[in-house]
Amino acid sequence: MSGRVTAEELLRKVWRVSERLEAKKIWHEIRAHRYDGVTILAHVPGQYWEIDFLEDGSVDVEVFRSSQTLEDESAIERLIDESNASIEEE
């Protein structure tokens, strides 16, 4: 979608999706961590969703699915180290 939507239109769209998630008892929270939109973070078993509502009226949805592989406590350090390495590369 091209063009811009008003803040009111953007928030109405976010609120409608939030209400639908709430009705299905899907855990979610609304975040404002982008300069150009609002994000709903939602969790269902085995999945994590990032739903971005952008000021141009578009909606981006990114779905992260579990590999169903459980790791032990040693994974914590590895994950943190890998995260720091990717930040340092930027």
52 and 13 Cβ atoms separated by less than 8 Å: no
Reported as a single tens digit per residue, the pLDDT across 13-65 is 999 999 999 999 999 999 998 889 999 999 999 999 999 999 999 999 999 99
* 26 closest CA partner among 53, 54, 52, 46: 46
Task: Specify the pLDDT at position 8.
Answer: 93
| Mean pLDDT to the nearest integer, 1-15 | 87
Task: Specify the pLDDT at position 12.
Answer: 96
> At 44, which helix (H) or strand (E)?
strand 37-44
Task: Specify the pLDDT at position 2.
Answer: 58
Q: Is 87 a residue whose pLDDT tops 70?
A: no
